[in-house]
Amino acid sequence: MAHSGEVTKAVVPVAGLGTRFLPATKVTPKVMMPVVDKPAIQYVVEEAASAGLSDVLLITGEGQQSITDHFERAYDLEARLTARGNQKALAQVRAPSELAKVSYVRQDSPRGLGHAVLCAAEHVGDEPFAVLLGDDLIGKRDDLLARMIAARKRYGGSIVALMEVPHEQISSYGCAAFKPTDDPDIVAVTDLIEKPDASEAPSNWIVIGRYVCDPSIFAVLRETPAGRGGEIQLTDALRTLAIADRTRAGVDGGGVHGVLFRGRRYDTGNKQDFLRTTVEFACSRPDLAPEFVSWLREYLETLPQT
Ligand code: G1P
């Protein structure tokens, strides 16, 4: 059965404090940290736009004006660049404002990812929508969102993206239990646990920062008590939808499916991964790679073996 309701809206929570990147994040929001020459959040909005999501709602916190400014026109700067005839810079300044219709809603108190998503209820209305976490970058060629939107069309309900990680990393993520479907890349999620102890994890598959949610998630989030870390967790609300579907009880939300992801995920919220992401992205840029890669090779030779 095909499920109607096009996915056209993306919700991007960006209100995190970025404590792992202090002092850089004292006045600069974490998602504005540049990866090569673009703030991390621009890659995320580009990904949403290239999956056809032309309406992007940022859930912002205090002191995050620079994020929304980045996606608006900068008339003074554009006028100065025009006067200088610098077309290349002008195009770079305009590009973020032309990606999508970007708007924002302010999350008044940081009460968790589930609470951030709930702040989008009015804007989203009764439509399925995508959630993209501002810290997670997904390899361009991996087409993850398009696969998730196709899965929503086929199965309805909500869709999570699942990635296999070494067992010792499980406790940092949401973790899924699931059964196979007739599609080897899609599973039926039977349970979800936010940051379980490794000994209690039902699998080695974690929920990564891309979701397609059924609008019924909002009613569930309103009833979801604070969970792990005293915060309202999106994972817990999705668990309610997954379990309700399994037991056919109570909540009408169409269950949860998982798209298995075997591509590249870059967690820019983590210092080691942020450094790797910067190097990897630089190495794949035709304008930078030739010089940078040969420098990198030479530099590595000079480092002592550890
Ligand atoms: C959030 C989610 C978690 C998910 C992770 C992916 O956690 O709560 O379920 O696995 O994102 O990056 P956070 O990283 O915000 O602690």
Q: What is the mean pLDDT of each run of 10 residues along the chain (306 residues)?
A: 78 90 92 95 96 96 92 96 96 96 92 96 97 92 93 96 95 96 96 95 96 97 95 97 76 86 91 94 96 97 86
Options 3.90.550.10, 3.40.50.2000, 3.40.718.10, 3.40.50.980; CATH for 9-269 is 3.90.550.10
Task: Please tell me the residue having the least CA distance from ligand 1 atom 14.
Answer: 173
User: Residue 1 corresponds to which tokens in the numbers above?
Assistant: 């059965």
Task: Please tell me the residue having the least CA distance from ligand 1 atom 1.
Answer: 173
Write down the pTM of the prediction.
Answer: 0.94
One-letter amino acid at 107 equals Q
- pLDDT for position 270: 85
- pLDDT for position 286: 96
From CA 57, how far away is CA 66, in angstroms rounded? 15
CB count in 10 Å sphere of residue 169: 13
* Shortest-distance atom of ligand 1 to CA 16: 15
Question: In the chain, what are the domain boundaries?
Answer: 9-269
- pLDDT for position 18: 84
* Shortest-distance atom of ligand 1 to CA 233: 8
Does the CB atom of residue 15 touch ligand 1 within 6 A?
no
Q: Are 135 and 19 in contact (CB under 8 A)?
A: no
The DSSP result for 109-177, as a single string, is S---HHHHHHTTHHHH-SS-EEEE-TTEEE-GGG-HHHHHHHHHHHH-SEEEEEEE--GGGGGGSEEEE
Cβ neighbours for 185, distance < 8 A, ≥ 6 positions apart? 147, 259, 260
Q: How many Å is the maximal CA-CA distance in the chain?
A: 66
Task: Please tell me the residue having the least CA distance from ligand 1 atom 15.
Answer: 113
Does the CB atom of residue 113 touch ligand 1 within 6 A?
yes
Does the CB atom of residue 117 touch ligand 1 within 6 A?
no
Q: How far is the CA of 234 from the centre of ligand 1 (A)?
A: 9
